Structure 1
Amino acid sequence: MKQMNYIMRRSFLSIALLLGAGIMTSNYWDALAPKPKSKFAGVQIGAITYSFRSMPHDIDQLLQFCIDANVSALELMGDPAETYAGKPASPVRMGPPPAGGQRPQMTDEQRAQIAEYNKKVAEWRATVSMDKFVEIRKKFNKAGITIYAFKPNAFGPNNTDAEVEYGMRAAKALGATSVTLEMPTDSKQTQRLGDLGAKNKVYVGYHAHTQATDVLWDEALRQSPYNSINLDAGHYIAAGGKNTKETLLAFIEAKHDRITSMHVKDRTTPEHGAGNLEWGKGDTPLKEMLQLMKTKKYKFPATVELEYTVPEGSNAVKEVAKCVEYAKKLLIE
């Protein structure tokens, strides 16, 4: 009996040691796995996951895209995260628009289906657990990637307050400090979102296209300290008129404490066609902007938004990686 007890104790200890070694080995290899690093000279270069729209993906594929593109910080679009969390699938699949064209108009039947679907989504958002969003944060954090902004389609005038607050709670679960959306045309909406942002302690970053001016955000900023600017430097330049390189840099310096994130792309002025070009070929003052952020130690991230045409033989991941590397060179030279 003593011999049997001895053998059993030895067997238990051996199994425990093997299990422990396995855990240590797993942690060891995780530590050795390459992690992206896109913070250079104190400036956080990030990317909006819209940049990868040409490459269909789920949340795990998206994670790998970020690793491959050396992106360590994200503005996360809503669909991959919400799908992972169990959002109902849309009954209408429109697909991307044809090259150079518009999507076909929806039929009356499709409109009715979408209206019913939106009700289901609102109900889902009002009751869904945040557990899956926490899982996403942990997945990305383990890989060395933080999520600083979340952009679900949940902040429009037709979305309920419950949906808006869901989006903000999901952002916090993801580790983000802000949500982003296109600039509303009604100041009542920016007041509503600013109030809900204050309630949930989440910043609301408003994004503009070529309607951007130096005063576009002023009313929203006055309405709430949680209303903020999701500046797009490329669109600002493409707007032309009073918008110049000099005014852009002055705007960043004047409003830096209300900017929660800045999209970076290289667009040309209207005189040069207002094109969207590979970095270094347009009129956006990329070097001056990034050097300003470096010198002034601004904390908001500079977000790669890939909108130029992906060259033949390349893909979105490779092009985002090129943008990150370009930004690195401008910051450390």
Structure 2
Amino acid sequence: MKNSPTRRQFLGTAAALVSGVAVGSNKLFGAPAIIRSLDKPNSLIDGVQIGVITYSFRDMPDQSAEATLQYVLDSGINAIELMGGPAESFAGAPKNTVDMRSVFPLMRKRSAKQELTDDEKKQLDEAEAQMKAYRAELTKWRLSAPMDKFEQVRKLYNQAGVKIYAFKPDAFGMQSSDGEINYGMKAAKLLGANQVTLEHPSNDAHTLRLGKLAEKNGIRVAYHGHEQQTPTFWDTALAQSPANAINFDLGHYVAAGNPDPLIFLKEKHNRIASMHMKDRQTAEHGKGNLPWGQGDTPIKQVLKLMHEQKYTFPAVVELEYKVPEGSTSVAEVRKCVNFCRNALS
């Protein structure tokens, strides 16, 4: 008797079916039966939707849409904020030749104002030059991208039991044309997302522009913050457009020395589209990014508040602490999900 297909084999088959490679029409012959036999994840815990941003899996060697879905399934999560790379590569975007796994640590080191060695500076400068050329090529591709491919990604993920609630391509910068911004918002809707996310640009004209374009596209723009977050950080953007929203970062907010985050959540919950979670220390304790339960961030209290108040925005795992030797980012995300289950039990 033959063994049943593994999840990875299933995903390859499903991707072929969805993209029309395995069948000669747009109908997904055979796929529903395969998919129904797969155990689907469920991270809606006691009314609180636990999600993950796929940036959490940035250290994994395969960043394709299919592999990313596998990481999500193995983490036991059914709702995600999808980074641009997996979806755009599925749609045929030009390949990024920069190894971002080696570049991300250098970028974080520089943003933390830690001194880089001469070799690190050279590596980062060369990578950024390559990235500039790549972005120009990617921008050109986006203006004529095959949009039906994003719908195919949505079907692939949905049939495996995963909903894409947010999309985060780097298409919403101040230098982006309206055409590129509209592309990103339309792709998000085809993926099934109700929001696009980006770092807050700290530019009022740009948040106004994005808000108005989001209104036309029928989607929200959720702005993410780091240690520049304050209780009033998003106020101007929120006043500019009902489509502007908050992508709150609980850990960074605590590390920045702000007042009790539960107060902020109670006051702003109706404008929060999603919330990133990590366990950071306060400034007094060094601002470290630690395994959950070891830092100063009140993750348990926040999750209980969300349950009690029936807040519906996703509480999102963003893995940023150092993955222990012998573990993987997938295993660590799974630990974070279990932390949430225990907090809500």
TM-score with structure 1 setting the length = 0.86
How far residue 118 of structure 1 moved from its aligned partner, in angstroms, is: 3.4
Give the letter for the 2:52 counterpart. Answer: A
1:66 lines up with 2:79 in the alignment: no
Contact kept in structure 1, 2:58 and 2:101, CA below 8 Å: no
In structure 1, the partner of 2:151 is 134
How far residue 80 of structure 1 moved from its aligned partner, in angstroms, is: 1.1
How far residue 117 of structure 1 moved from its aligned partner, in angstroms, is: 4.1
CA distance in 1, matches of 2:182, 2:29: 41
CA distance in 2, matches of 1:298, 1:190: 25
Structure 1 residue runs without a partner (length 5+): 1-22
How far residue 26 of structure 1 moved from its aligned partner, in angstroms, is: 6.6
How far residue 123 of structure 1 moved from its aligned partner, in angstroms, is: 2.3
Percent identity of the aligned residues?
Answer: 50
Structure 1 residues 276-322: Cα deviation after superposition (integer angstroms, max 9, x where no partner): 01111111111110011101111100000000000111000000000
Task: Decide whether aligned partners of structure 1 residues 25 and 84 sit closer, same or farther in structure 2, where only a CA change above 3 A counts.
Answer: closer
1:271 lines up with 2:284 in the alignment: yes
Coordinate RMSD, CA, aligned? 2.1
Question: What pairs up with 1:84-233 in 2 under 5 angstroms?
Answer: 84-90=90-96, 96-97=102-103, 101=116, 102=120, 104-106=123-125, 111=129, 115=132, 117-233=134-250
Task: Decide whether aligned partners of structure 1 residues 217 and 25 sit closer, same or farther in structure 2, where only a CA change above 3 A counts.
Answer: closer
CA distance in 2, matches of 1:285, 1:54: 27
Task: Decide whether aligned partners of structure 1 residues 70 and 119 sit closer, same or farther in structure 2, where only a CA change above 3 A counts.
Answer: same
How far residue 185 of structure 1 moved from its aligned partner, in angstroms, is: 1.6
CA distance in 2, matches of 1:28, 1:122: 38
Report the secondary structure of 1:311's partner residue: coil
1:288 lines up with 2:301 in the alignment: yes
CA distance in 2, matches of 1:304, 1:119: 31
In structure 2, the partner of 1:317 is 330
How far residue 88 of structure 1 moved from its aligned partner, in angstroms, is: 1.5
CA distance in 1, matches of 2:87, 2:29: 30
Structure 1 residues 185-243: Cα deviation after superposition (integer angstroms, max 9, x where no partner): 21111011011111101100000000100000000000000000000000000001xx1
1:303 lines up with 2:320 in the alignment: no
Contact kept in structure 1, 2:49 and 2:315, CA below 8 Å: yes
Give the letter for the 2:88 counterpart. Answer: E
Task: Decide whether aligned partners of structure 1 residues 26 and 257 sit closer, same or farther in structure 2, where only a CA change above 3 A counts.
Answer: closer
Number of positions where the alignment pairs a residue of Structure 1 with one of Structure 2: 304
1:261 lines up with 2:274 in the alignment: yes
Contact kept in structure 1, 2:56 and 2:318, CA below 8 Å: yes
How far residue 30 of structure 1 moved from its aligned partner, in angstroms, is: 2.8
Task: Decide whether aligned partners of structure 1 residues 285 and 135 sit closer, same or farther in structure 2, where only a CA change above 3 A counts.
Answer: same
CA distance in 1, matches of 2:315, 2:137: 35
Structure 1 residues 68-107: Cα deviation after superposition (integer angstroms, max 9, x where no partner): 1001000000011111111122466676137765452536
How far residue 122 of structure 1 moved from its aligned partner, in angstroms, is: 2.1
How far residue 24 of structure 1 moved from its aligned partner, in angstroms, is: 10
Contact kept in structure 1, 2:72 and 2:78, CA below 8 Å: yes
CA distance in 2, matches of 1:114, 1:271: 37
CA distance in 1, matches of 2:29, 2:213: 45
How far residue 328 of structure 1 moved from its aligned partner, in angstroms, is: 1.0
CA distance in 1, matches of 2:170, 2:198: 8
Report the secondary structure of 1:127's partner residue: coil
1:56 lines up with 2:61 in the alignment: yes
How far residue 265 of structure 1 moved from its aligned partner, in angstroms, is: 0.6
How far residue 32 of structure 1 moved from its aligned partner, in angstroms, is: 2.6
Contact kept in structure 2, 1:122 and 1:160, CA below 8 Å: no
Give the letter for the 1:49 counterpart. Answer: T
CA distance in 2, matches of 1:205, 1:53: 21
Give the letter for the 1:70 counterpart. Answer: G
Report the secondary structure of 1:205's partner residue: strand
Larger deviation, residues 56-65 vs 171-180: 56-65
Give the letter for the 1:200 counterpart. Answer: N
CA distance in 2, matches of 1:124, 1:231: 31
How far residue 147 of structure 1 moved from its aligned partner, in angstroms, is: 0.4
Report the secondary structure of 1:106's partner residue: helix
CA distance in 2, matches of 1:168, 1:288: 34
How far residue 110 of structure 1 moved from its aligned partner, in angstroms, is: 7.8
